[in-house]
Amino acid sequence: MAEGSWDYSVFWKEAIAQLHTEVSEQEWVMWFNNLRYEGSSADSVTICVPSSFYRDQIQQRYCPRIEQKLKELSGNDISLDFTVRPLEPEEKQERPAKSHPAAESPPPKKPPHPQLKSEYVFESFVVGVNNSFAANAAYAIAKNPGTAYNPCLIYGGVGLGKTHLIQSIGNTVHQDDSARIVYVTAETFTNEFIQSIKNKTNHQFKNKYRSVDVLLIDDIHFLQNKTETQEELFHTFNALYDANKQMVFTCDRPVSELKHLTDRLRSRFERGLNVDLQPPDFETRFAILKRKIEEKNVPISDDVIDLVCRNITTNVRDLEASLTKLIAYADLVNKNITPEVAQQLLKDVFSNPRQSNITIEMIQRVVADYFALSAGDLKGKKRTKAIAFPRQVAMYIAREMTEYSTTEVGLEFGGRDHTTVMHACQRVESRMKTDPTLEPTINHLVRTIKENNAKS
C-alpha cells in the first residue's frame, strides 16, 4: 500500500464492536459514545476525543485491550493515537437528536416526582467539553442505578448544572422503574435530622433514608461543621452502600477541599466516581442560550447571543438571568432586540468586557515571531525548552489579554488541557519575580499585539 493511504477503519470498527459486547452498557455510554475514528498510518490508528480527560481515561482503561484486538484483526502492531478536539458545531447540534439516547426516551408516563423539577432532564442539558464527562456519568447512572459508579459525586462552582444533573438522574430513574428515589439538599437533610431528634422520631428518619433505592443529596458542602448530621449520613451511607443502592452527591468543590468534614465521611464520598463541571466554553454557552431561546420561542438574533456569550463567561445561571432580562424588555416594548440594545440593557453584568477582539491566533503569531518560531511550534507537541517557554508566555498573554477560559486557551494550543494552561501562567508569573527581563519582554509583546490588532 502506498505511503499515506492506510485505512484501518474496518479493524477499528470491528475491535470496538467486540469491546461493546465485553463492557457494561454504562461503560459503553460513558466512554465510547464520544470516540470518533480519525485516520490511520502504517502502524497507528488516530481517534478523536472531546477532551484530554477522555484521552487519559481511554488510555488507562482500554488502550491495551483495543490494541490487542487491532493486532489480532489486522496481524499488525497498531498503536492508538489521540487527537483532542471538541465536537464540531454541527455534530453538537445533532447530538441531542441523534446520538444522545436520552432524546429517544418516551414522553413521561408517570406523574412527576414530588421532590424533583420536571424540567431538569437530560434532554434539556446541553453537553459541551466542560461538562461531558459529568453528563455522561450521570446518564450512565440513571440508566443503571446501583450497578456502577456508586457513589458518584458531581462537583463544580455555582450555576454550572449540578442540580440540573442530579435531578435528571432522579427524573430518569423515576420514569424508568418503580425505584424509591429521595432527593434532598444537604440543608434539608440536616434540618430533618435535627427535627427528628427533637421530636424523638429519629427512628422514622433512619428508616426513611435507609430504605431508598436511589439517594440524591445536593450541596453536601453544607454539611461542614455539622458533626452529628455527618455521623448520621455516614451510617446511612454504609447501609445503602452495602445494599448496592445508588447514591449521588453534589458539592461546590472537590471533597478534598472541604475543611470541616470528618475523614471517614470524606473517604466515603471519594470512594466512587468524582466528576467535575467546568465553566462552559464559548461554543457551549452559545448552544445553551440558543436552545433556551428556541424553547421559549423568542425572536433574539444570533448577533445578540454572540454578544451575551462573549461577555458572560462565568456560569449558566448568569447567562439565563441575562436572557430573562432581554426577554422582559422585548415583551415590554414589543420590539426586536438589537446588539446595541442588549449592550445597553446588560452593561452592568458585562463587567469584564473583552479587550477588543484580540484572538489567540494573533497572540501566537506575535509571540512566535518574537522567538523566531512558527505558530505551529507553539501548538505542536515538542517540549524542548526553546519552544516550551515561548508557549507558556503565549498562554499567559492569552489569559491576560482575552476573556478565553483556560479550557479555550488549551484547545487553541493543540488541544492541551486547561491545567497545562494554568500551570503555564503560574510559571510565567513566578519567573517574572526572578527574571527582571521577562516583564519588559511581555510588555513589548502586548504592545505589538495591540498594534497589530489596531491595524487589522
Closest CB 181 distance from Mg ion, rounded Å: 17
Identity of the residue, 320 or 369, whose beta carbon is nearer to ligand ADP in the bound complex: 320
- Binds 55: which of Mg ion, ligand ADP, none (CB < 5-8 Å by kind): none
- Binds 125: which of ligand ADP, Mg ion, none (CB < 5-8 Å by kind): ligand ADP
Closest CB 45 distance from ligand ADP, rounded Å: 31
Closest CB 135 distance from ligand ADP, rounded Å: 7
The residue sitting closest to Mg ion, measured at its beta carbon, is: 163
Residues that contact Mg ion, how many (by CB under 5 A): 2
As given in the structure block, the three cell numbers for residue 222 are 453544607
Closest CB 166 distance from Mg ion, rounded Å: 8
The correct pick among 187, 231, 270, 320 for binding ligand ADP (CB under 6 A) is 320
Instruction: Give me the half-sphere count of Cα atoms (radius 13 Å) on the Cβ side of residue 237.
Output: 21
The Cα–Cα gap between 413 and 426 comes to 17
Q: How would you list the strands of the sheet with 44-49, edge to edge? A: 36-41, 44-49, 79-84
Closest CB 237 distance from Mg ion, rounded Å: 21
Secondary element (H or E) of residue 226: none
Site for Mg ion in 392-451 (CB under 5 A): none
The Cα–Cα gap between 428 and 449 comes to 18
Site for ligand ADP in 229-288 (CB under 6 A): 288
Closest CB 216 distance from Mg ion, rounded Å: 12
Closest CB 331 distance from ligand ADP, rounded Å: 20
Cβ burial, residue 207 (10 Å; 0-12/13-18/19+)? exposed
Identity of the residue, 223 or 316, whose beta carbon is nearer to ligand ADP in the bound complex: 316
Contact 452, 359 (CB under 8 A): no
Residues that contact ligand ADP, how many (by CB under 6 A): 16
Site for Mg ion in 144-163 (CB under 5 A): 162-163
The Cα–Cα gap between 78 and 15 comes to 12
Contact 405, 418 (CB under 8 A): yes
Identity of the residue, 58 or 216, whose beta carbon is nearer to Mg ion in the bound complex: 216
315 in contact with Mg ion (CB under 5 A) = no
Identity of the residue, 131 or 163, whose beta carbon is nearer to Mg ion in the bound complex: 163
Question: 425-432: which pairs have CB atoms within 8 A and are 24 or more residues apart?
Answer: 425/392, 425/395, 425/396, 425/399, 427/392, 428/392, 428/393, 428/395, 428/396, 429/396
Q: Which amino acid is at 417?
A: D
Identity of the residue, 66 or 316, whose beta carbon is nearer to Mg ion in the bound complex: 316
The Cα–Cα gap between 183 and 174 comes to 11
The Cα–Cα gap between 174 and 187 comes to 23
The Cα–Cα gap between 212 and 194 comes to 20
Identity of the residue, 163 or 172, whose beta carbon is nearer to Mg ion in the bound complex: 163
CA distances from 219 to 149, 210, 214 (A): 19, 20, 16
SS3 145: coil
Q: Strand runs (DSSP E) across 105-198, as ranges? A: 152-155, 181-185
- Binds 317: which of ligand ADP, Mg ion, none (CB < 5-8 Å by kind): ligand ADP
Cβ atoms < 10 Å from Cβ of 251: 25
Identity of the residue, 230 or 315, whose beta carbon is nearer to ligand ADP in the bound complex: 315
Closest CB 35 distance from ligand ADP, rounded Å: 21
Closest CB 11 distance from ligand ADP, rounded Å: 36
As given in the structure block, the three cell numbers for residue 201 are 422520631
Site for ligand ADP in 111-140 (CB under 6 A): 124-126, 131
Closest CB 108 distance from ligand ADP, rounded Å: 17
Pattern 139-178, ligand ADP, x by CB under 6 A: -----------------x-xxxxxxx--------------
Q: Which amino acid is at 243?
A: A
CA dihedral 276, 277, 282, 285 (to 10 degrees): 160
Pattern 288-317, ligand ADP, x by CB under 6 A: x---------------------------xx
Identity of the residue, 29 or 129, whose beta carbon is nearer to ligand ADP in the bound complex: 129
Identity of the residue, 151 or 156, whose beta carbon is nearer to ligand ADP in the bound complex: 156
Judged by the rule CB under 6 A, the positions of this chain that interact with ligand ADP are 124-126, 131, 156, 158-164, 288, 316-317, 320
What does the binding site for Mg ion look like in residue numbers (CB under 5 A)? 162-163
